[in-house]
């Protein structure tokens, strides 16, 4: 039986009728039409589906859409403003912190959330924070470098 | 994913009446991380899923010096990890919760959901046992308190009875200043432990006054290694004593062969890691 | 090209902006009106007869639109033709898209369901009744070839599905004149690069036109195209490949089965159908790299010269005959590694077992070949009391011997192997490391250093696999052909249309740099069309995003097309400016006589003429400004097609890398920590350093993780135990060491701009590097590392001398 839920996604409110069994990841991709959130394992191990739920990074494949009723979600599509990449996104592009791009939205969301709470992380802290986002292509070197650069950019921007 | 009905009661009382109404057809969800996976794999197929997230104060964490820590079952791992009284007074818990899975899971999974699942592979149980934790089980008929080391009955089985919910975890004021937590994973740190060890210890003049030892991933439930504790309790702390304690601890465990390692390897790991944890805890105690 | 502006320089990624904003377009991001969702019916048994399949309960739900059963597959499709991956299969054995009479691995597809929603499809799958008769599973390779084991294929009568050998040079003489024969038994396990995006297929069939359109996560369009034509008898097939979330060889072969099954559903329902697999489905049935066992012998002289190498190989190919010999024949690509050994004898045995079929995962057989060489070189050093460096130096091909013809017919275009090794030893300060190691050992710390070297072949020759079967009736093509089209638009920008799909190797960025260099414009004026579309893309047999093809065929095609276009541009400009083409230069999209303010014209102006202004186009010149070039490697002969002598150019270009692994081992837990990992690499002319570095980092990280424990494990009943990423042992950023890369290129004299390969690269030598380092660390205990993976338990057993009480299956 379907339930009506109201969810705010990237600042816009959506009202949808969904079956309780619909995963949040599928809801975002299919009901809302935002396909930037990817599904790699559907059991919460790879992090490709990472989004912000009330400002906390969560794995949207481990959530039912009905659990998000009344809450705020930010997906990868919500980061850039009018086509202007935010510092994390720009650092990823400059540093080639991706190859196939499938893990990239999740990586960017997690990196973004990390820098909100820890603006000056060490390499070890970056690697630990990204431990829940698997990448099969890059070997992580350029991703870590991108996060470091984004941290630097953000701190110089503040000054 | 199977089909099910989703209910969000706003009080515990309403939650209990739903549980009574649907009995075995219902499952409770808080963070939902492990339940959801089991439902996807059709290992559990509830017709009704009852979410506890709208129940007020269900996730509260409070601390009083003479009472200790009280954690609402709905508190998620991340909140416990970051809670100031936990950081200050229970460094063992702070360390343990820092290591549970990874931030994305810790942001969603709850301590109540974790303990109530009775999963012997997860991290919090051993540390809570090492701190003499007890759980409050509530039903429409009342409340009872159970020691955590008696709460885990078997693989995925706990002392929870039909109609009961785990509502609170109580951790008494810390009595043993020395502590250590080791989570051994062969590869990814976000994986389940191959062997997990938690120790708290109180020493004076090189003698062990009191000790608690908990282990996870080594048996069908989380283990409280009482016999091992008895080896060291009241005795001088020597290398030989630590070694003997580690040996006895391994006899209280029954690890199985799986893709993380053979039973033989795990038994050896238990001896190695219990010793390392004990050494570290003793150092912290002084 | 004298002073290069874009080739070799850093250049802003063209793929980056869409990936970091979530605007990549992957197959699952597409939908069509009325699309149905499909699920695949899979076997829960490792080995069983299929007695009956009854879909009637499932079809009762009105949301379920069609079910495909084994009977449907048998009646409505034909089996696939055995291709070059099974070159050794002399008698054809029918393999259909789904299992017909028997299932031979857990997860093997035997049917499919299409329904109006994912939930309905899942529910329907549960309702299909299958009557299986379980048979004894065959899991262990040595057990499988015993007559007492159950047989997987009755037509073969044995599980030893293929046996053959290749010999080059006088191996008997080598062993006769040896001072010593060094022997070793080695083993590599089952693993895979597990791309993050699982298989996805969308099929749409237009019955009136008999046209099938397929969107699919595939690396080689030809496999899909041919697979559909063979199985469904359709000639009008369009294959579209959008952004692919990782391939690594996983998305080449078995995916064709699912394309056929999903197409059958589309044909049955008259609606478009989409299928996405679950992660666990991919881990069980998507395809694995082959577990290989080697009995190796090296004939050596006391001074360390290797006179001959002989090895007997057992390949555990899983439950299909379609990839029987690929891991054996692929060893022809790096058979000699970096050494001048004059005689090599390779014997192969392909054994079928009740496990997932093997597929050409990154390196395919080459990591195994490099493992044999580099483990043997260490072993030779130990037995002759020489250092591992001395033994390698003694046998390396020298730079002044390039181009070098190997005994199996390969021609190494360029390379300075002694130089790579020296530079590596210098950069890691090898002597200092050995001193550090001495001190560490005194403190009881087990530090180890492993040094290995390996070639990385590139640019495939489709006829290579015929070396084991030159009389093959249906030759798979030969050499390589692939194309590219470049068009100067009316507004002066350029658009590229490549012949190959890609899974993230920065094709758009790299080709834009090459085109910009040749044409005298800037990369930001160039855009590349994605997706690959078989109707439009200029593709040939080398349109395979695998086997290190891109650097040779796609770059060659773009270079050729850009060169043709440049000539046209100059011809038109010369005509319009009334000058000689030789007088003209092009810079930043402006064609001019240097120094002249009047005699200049922009690309945009030329575009407007070429497409709009016939009056200004010279007599006899084709209008428009577009060029297509199909590239073949101009130095491919001799030995493109192997003859009776079995000599063959297995691949055409040869990168190389020297690797150093520095590890520390904890004896009590078996944990291995990689303290440092450095590669000194030769990828020829590097077009985009960030891209090449990324390929090296990624392939090295995977090889290291493979060596240290990730891998597939089966129970003795053939049940896969590792069907989640964590169970399988995937490493995150927290466990992956930071790989260091130093470039020391020897450009190829034969390729368009001297470029060589960089895709499979570091995956080839890295398992051997880790094995060497761990063995070195445990040297005080006399440990010999023979088998991978070196999981903590495996290292613990080696270090503490505990033989396994029960043999586990890999």
What is the C-alpha separation between C87 and C620, in angstroms, rounded?
49
Q: What's the pLDDT band for B156 if we cut at 50, 70, 90?
A: confident
Contacts of C118 (CB under 8 A, 6+ apart): A26, C37, C39
Q: Do C796 and B187 touch (CB under 8 A)?
A: no
Q: Which of C119, C796, C804 lies at the smallest CB-CB distance from B3?
A: C119
Chains that touch C (3 or more CB pairs under 8 A): A, B
Domain end point (choices A78, A111, A131)? A78
**Is the CB of residue C705 less than 8 Å away from at least one CB of chain A?**
no
Give the C-alpha distances (Å, rounded to integers) separating B135 from B11, B164, B230, C549.
20, 12, 24, 62
**Is the CB of residue A136 less than 8 Å away from at least one CB of chain C?**
yes
Q: What is the pLDDT of residues C168-192, one digit of tens each?
A: 999 999 999 999 999 999 999 999 9
C413, C403 contact by CB (below 8 A): yes
Residue B89, burial from CB neighbour count under 10 angstroms (0-12, 13-18, 19+): middle
Give the C-alpha distances (Å, rounded to integers) separating C795 from A84, B211, C399.
50, 33, 38
Do residues A91 and A74 both lie within one domain?
Answer: no
Q: Dmax of chain B from CA atoms?
A: 62
Count up the domains in chain A and report the number.
Answer: 2
pLDDT greater than 50 at residue A19: yes
**Is the CB of residue C347 less than 8 Å away from at least one CB of chain B?**
no
Considering only alpha carbons, which residue of chain B is nearest residue C733?
Answer: B188
C718, C356 contact by CB (below 8 A): no
Give the C-alpha distances (Å, rounded to integers) separating A117 from A121, A129, B217, B240, C762.
10, 11, 32, 46, 36
Residue C387, burial from CB neighbour count under 10 angstroms (0-12, 13-18, 19+): middle
Give the C-alpha distances (Å, rounded to integers) separating C30 from B133, C25, C202, C239.
52, 8, 9, 14
Residues in B touching C716 (Cβ below 8 Å):
none
Residues in C touching B264 (Cβ below 8 Å):
802, 805
What is the C-alpha separation between A109 and A37, in angstroms, rounded?
10
CATH topology of domain C16-22+480-631: Aldehyde Oxidoreductase; domain 4 (3.30.365)
Count other C-beta atoms under 10 Å from residue C76's C-beta: 16
Q: Which of C22, C243, C739 lies at the smallest CB-CB distance from A139?
A: C739
Whose CA is closest to C726, among C738, C715, C735, C737? Answer: C735
Whose tokens are 């003489």? That residue is C173
Give the C-alpha distances (Å, rounded to integers) separating B24 from B1, B3, B156, B167, C717.
19, 16, 16, 19, 34
Determine the CATH number of domain B5-51: 3.30.43.10
| Bridge partner list, A59 | A50
Q: Whole-prediction pTM value?
A: 0.94
Residues in C touching A52 (Cβ below 8 Å):
none
Q: Which of A26, A43, A127, A132 to mutate to test the interface with B (most CBs of B within 10 A)?
A: A132
Question: What is the domain class of C396-459+652-800 according to CATH?
Answer: alpha beta
Mark the ranges of chain C whose per-residue pLDDT is less than 50. 1, 805-810
Residues in A touching B106 (Cβ below 8 Å):
none
C343, C308 contact by CB (below 8 A): yes
Do residues A150 and A98 both lie within one domain?
Answer: yes
Contacts of C485 (CB under 8 A, 6+ apart): C496, C497, C538, C561, C626, C627, C628
- Cis amide bond preceding B9, omega within 30: no
C269, C114 contact by CB (below 8 A): yes
Q: Which of C22, C197, C736 lies at the smallest CB-CB distance from A77?
A: C22
Q: What's the pLDDT band for B260 if we cut at 50, 70, 90?
A: confident
DSSP SS3 for C694: helix
Q: Which of B187, B258, B265 lies at the smallest CB-CB distance from C729?
A: B187
In chain C, residues 669-698 whose CB comes closer than 8 Å to chain B: 669-671
Find out if CATH 3.30.390.50 is the number for domain B181-285.
yes
Q: Do B259 and C710 touch (CB under 8 A)?
A: no
Q: Do A67 and B32 touch (CB under 8 A)?
A: yes
CATH topology identical between C16-22+480-631 and C31-364: no
B249, B270 contact by CB (below 8 A): yes
B19, B8 contact by CB (below 8 A): no
> Residues of chain B whose C-beta is under 8 A from some C-beta in A?
1-6, 29, 32-33, 36-37, 40, 49, 51, 53, 78, 101-105, 107-108, 188-190
pLDDT of B206? 92
To the nearest whole Å, the CA of A12 is away from the closest chain C CA by: 18
Q: What is the DSSP letter of C781?
A: G
CATH topology of domain B61-170: 3.30.465
Contacts of B41 (CB under 8 A, 6+ apart): none
Q: What is the pLDDT of residues B85-124, one digit of tens each?
A: 999 999 999 999 888 765 666 777 889 988 998 888 888 9
Q: What is the CATH number of the domain that holds A122?
A: 1.10.150.120
What is the C-alpha separation between C416 and C682, in angstroms, rounded?
8
Chains that touch A (3 or more CB pairs under 8 A): B, C
In chain C, residues 711-730 whose CB comes closer than 8 Å to chain B: 713, 721-722, 726-727, 729-730
What is the C-alpha separation between C276 and A94, in angstroms, rounded?
32
- Tell me the HSE value of B32 on the side-chain side, using a 13 A CA sphere: 25
Q: Do B33 and A21 touch (CB under 8 A)?
A: no
Whose CA is closest to C524, among C607, C588, C610? Answer: C588
Considering only alpha carbons, which residue of chain C is nearest residue A103?
Answer: C196
Whose CA is closest to C205, among C245, C233, C230? Answer: C233
Q: What's the pLDDT band for B187 if we cut at 50, 70, 90?
A: confident
CA dihedral A134→A138→A141→A146, nearest 10 degrees, is -80
- For chain C, the domains span 16-22+480-631, 31-364, 396-459+652-800
Q: Do A23 and B4 touch (CB under 8 A)?
A: no
Give the C-alpha distances (Å, rounded to integers) separating C294 from C85, C300, C328, C376.
20, 18, 11, 11
What is the C-alpha separation between C91 and C674, in angstroms, rounded?
47
What is the C-alpha separation between B52 and A4, in angstroms, rounded?
19
- For chain B, the domains span 5-51, 61-170, 181-285
Question: Which tokens go with C174?
Answer: 């080598």
What is the C-alpha separation between C397 and C197, in angstroms, rounded?
41
Give DSSP secondary structure letters for chain B: ----EEE--SSHHHHHHHHHHHGGGEEEESS-HHHHHHHHTTS---SEEEE-TTSTTTT-EEEETTTEEEEETT-BHHHHHH-HHHHHH-HHHHHHHHHSS-HHHHTT-BHHHHHHHT-TTSSHHHHHHHTT-EEEEEETTEEEEEEHHHHEEETTEESPPTT-EEEEEEEPPP---EEEEEEE-SS-TTSPPSEEEEEEEEEETTEEEEEEEEEESSSSS-EE-HHHHHHHTTSB--HHHHHHHHHHHHHT-----BTTB-HHHHHHHHHHHHHHHHHHHHHHH-
CATH topology of domain C31-364: Aldehyde Oxidoreductase; domain 3 (3.90.1170)
**Domain span including residue A34:** 3-78
pLDDT of B203? 95
Q: Which of B1, B3, B5, B6 to mutate to test the interface with A (most CBs of A within 10 A)?
A: B6
């Amino acid at each position: 039986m379907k339930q009506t839920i109201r969810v705010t996604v990237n600042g816009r409110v959506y009202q949808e009728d969904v079956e309780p069994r619909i995963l949040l990841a599928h809801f975002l991709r299919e009901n809302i039409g935002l396909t930037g959130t990817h599904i790699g394992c559907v059991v919460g191990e790879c992090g490709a589906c990472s989004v912000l739920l009330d400002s906390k990074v969560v794995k949207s494949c481990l959530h039912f859409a009905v659990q998000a009723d009344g809450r705020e979600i930010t997906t990868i599509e919500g980061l850039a403003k009018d086509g202007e990449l935010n510092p994390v996104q720009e650092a990823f592009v400059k540093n080639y912190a991706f190859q196939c791009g499938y893990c990239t939205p999740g990586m960017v969301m997690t990196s973004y959330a990390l820098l909100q709470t820890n603006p000056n992380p060490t390499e070890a802290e970056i690697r630990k924070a990204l431990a829940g986002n698997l990448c099969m292509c890059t070997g992580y070197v350029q991703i870590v470098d991108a996060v470091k650069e984004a941290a630097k950019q953000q701190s110089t921007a503040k000054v | 994913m199977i089909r099910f009905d989703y209910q969000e009661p706003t009080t515990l009382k309403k939650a209990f009446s739903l549980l009574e109404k649907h009995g075995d057809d219902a499952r409770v969800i808080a963070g939902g991380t492990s339940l959801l996976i089991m439902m996807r794999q059709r290992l559990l197929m509830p017709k009704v899923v009852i979410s506890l997230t709208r129940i007020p104060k269900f996730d509260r964490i409070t601390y009083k010096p003479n009472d200790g820590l009280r954690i609402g079952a709905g508190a998620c791992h991340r909140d416990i990890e970051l809670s100031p009284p936990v950081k200050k007074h229970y460094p063992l818990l702070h360390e343990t919760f820092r290591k549970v899975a990874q931030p994305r899971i810790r942001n969603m999974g709850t301590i109540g959901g974790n303990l109530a699942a009775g999963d012997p592979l997860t991290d919090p149980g051993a540390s809570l046992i090492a701190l003499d934790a007890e759980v409050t089980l509530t039903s429409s008929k009342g409340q009872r308190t159970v020691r955590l080391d008696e709460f885990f009955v078997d693989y995925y089985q706990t002392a929870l009875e039909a109609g009961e919910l785990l509502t609170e975890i109580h951790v008494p004021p810390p009595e043993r200043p020395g502590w250590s937590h080791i989570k051994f994973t062969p590869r990814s740190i976000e994986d389940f432990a191959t062997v997990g060890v938690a120790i708290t210890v109180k020493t004076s003049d090189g003698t062990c006054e009191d000790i608690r030892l908990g282990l996870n991933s080594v048996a069908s439930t989380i283990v409280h290694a009482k016999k091992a504790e008895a080896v060291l309790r009241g005795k001088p702390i020597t290398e030989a004593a630590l070694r003997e304690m580690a040996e006895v601890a391994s006899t209280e465990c029954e690890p199985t062969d799986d893709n993380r390692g053979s039973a033989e390897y795990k038994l050896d790991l238990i001896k190695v890691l219990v010793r390392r944890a004990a050494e570290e805890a003793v150092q912290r105690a002084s | 090209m004298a002073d290069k502006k874009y080739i070799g320089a850093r250049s802003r990624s063209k793929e980056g902006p869409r990936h970091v904003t979530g605007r990549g377009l992957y197959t699952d991001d597409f939908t069509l009106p009325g699309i149905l969702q499909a699920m695949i019916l899979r076997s829960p048994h490792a080995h069983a007869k299929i007695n009956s399949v009854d879909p009637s309960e499932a079809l009762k739900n009105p949301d379920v639109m069609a079910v495909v059963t084994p009977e449907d597959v048998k009646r409505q499709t034909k089996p696939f033709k055995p291709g070059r991956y099974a070159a050794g299969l002399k008698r054809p054995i029918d393999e259909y898209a789904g299992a017909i009479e028997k299932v031979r691995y857990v997860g093997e597809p035997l049917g499919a369901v299409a329904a109006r929603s994912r939930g309905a499809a899942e529910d329907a799958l549960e309702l299909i009744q299958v009557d299986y008769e379980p048979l004894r599973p065959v899991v262990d390779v040595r057990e499988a070839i015993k007559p007492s084991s159950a047989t997987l294929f009755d037509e073969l009568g044995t599980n030893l599905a293929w046996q053959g050998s290749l010999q080059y040079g006088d191996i008997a003489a080598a062993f006769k004149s040896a001072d010593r024969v060094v022997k070793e038994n080695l083993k590599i396990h089952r693993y895979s690069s597990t791309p993050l995006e699982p298989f996805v297929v969308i099929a749409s069939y237009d019955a009136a036109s008999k046209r099938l359109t397929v969107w699919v996560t595939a690396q080689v369009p030809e496999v899909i195209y041919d697979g559909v034509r063979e199985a469904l008898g359709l000639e009008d097939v369009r294959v579209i490949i959008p952004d692919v979330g990782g391939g690594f060889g996983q998305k080449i072969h078995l995916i064709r089965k699912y394309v056929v099954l999903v197409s059958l559903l589309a044909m049955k329902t008259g609606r478009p159908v989409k299928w996405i697999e679950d992660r666990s489905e991919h881990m069980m049935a998507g395809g694995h790299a082959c577990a290989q066992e080697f009995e190796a012998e090296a004939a050596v002289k006391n001074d360390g010269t290797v006179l001959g190498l002989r090895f007997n190989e057992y390949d555990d190919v899983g439950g299909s005959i379609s990839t029987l010999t690929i891991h054996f024949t692929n060893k022809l690509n790096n058979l000699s590694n970096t050494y001048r050994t004059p005689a090599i004898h390779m014997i192969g045995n392909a054994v079928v077992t009740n496990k997932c079929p093997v597929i050409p995962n990154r390196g395919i057989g080459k990591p195994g070949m490099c493992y044999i060489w580099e483990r043997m070189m260490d072993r030779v050093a130990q037995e002759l009391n020489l250092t591992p460096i001395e033994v390698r130096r003694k046998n390396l091909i020298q730079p002044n011997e390039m181009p070098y013809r190997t005994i199996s017919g390969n021609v190494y275009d360029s390379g300075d192997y002694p130089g790579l090794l020296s530079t590596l030893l210098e950069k890691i300060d090898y002597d200092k490391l050995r001193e550090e190691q001495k001190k560490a050992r005194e403190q009881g710390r087990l530090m180890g250093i492993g040094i290995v070297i390996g070639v990385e072949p590139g640019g495939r020759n489709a006829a290579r696999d015929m070396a084991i079967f030159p009389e093959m009736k249906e030759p798979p093509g030969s050499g390589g052909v692939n194309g590219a089209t470049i068009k100067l638009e009316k507004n002066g920008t350029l658009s590229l249309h490549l012949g190959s799909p890609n899974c993230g190797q920065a094709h758009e960025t790299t080709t834009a740099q090459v085109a910009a260099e040749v044409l005298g414009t800037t990369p930001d004026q160039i855009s590349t069309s994605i997706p690959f579309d078989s109707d439009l893309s200029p593709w040939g047999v080398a349109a395979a995003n695998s086997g290190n093809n891109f650097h040779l065929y796609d770059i060659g095609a773009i270079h050729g097309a850009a060169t043709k276009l440049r000539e046209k541009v100059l011809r038109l400009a010369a005509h319009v400016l009334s000058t000689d083409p030789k007088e003209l230069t092009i810079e930043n999209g402006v064609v001019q006589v240097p120094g002249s303010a009047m005699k200049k014209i922009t690309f945009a102006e030329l575009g407007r003429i070429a497409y709009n202004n016939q009056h200004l186009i010279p007599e006899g010149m084709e209008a428009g400004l577009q060029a297509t070039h199909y590239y073949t490697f101009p130095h491919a002969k001799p030995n493109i097609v192997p003859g009776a002598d079995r000599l063959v150019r297995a691949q055409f270009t040869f990168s190389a890398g020297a690797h150093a692994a520095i590890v520390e081992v904890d004896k009590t837990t078996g944990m291995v920590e990689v303290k440092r990992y450095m590669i000194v690499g030769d990828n020829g002319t590097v077009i985009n350093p960030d891209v090449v570095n990324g390929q090296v980092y990624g392939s090295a990280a995977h090889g290291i993780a493979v060596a240290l424990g990730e891998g597939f494990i089966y129970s003795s009943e053939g049940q896969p135990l590792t069907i989640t990423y964590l169970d399988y042992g995937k490493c995150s950023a927290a466990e992956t060491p930071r790989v260091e890369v130093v470039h020391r290129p020897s450009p190829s004299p034969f390729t368009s701009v001297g470029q060589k390969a960089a895709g499979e690269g570091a995956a080839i030598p890295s398992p051997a590097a880790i094995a060497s380092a761990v063995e070195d660390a445990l040297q005080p205990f006399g440990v010999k590392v023979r088998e991978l993976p070196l999981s903590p338990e495996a290292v613990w057993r080696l270090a503490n001398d505990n033989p396994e009480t029960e043999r586990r299956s890999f």
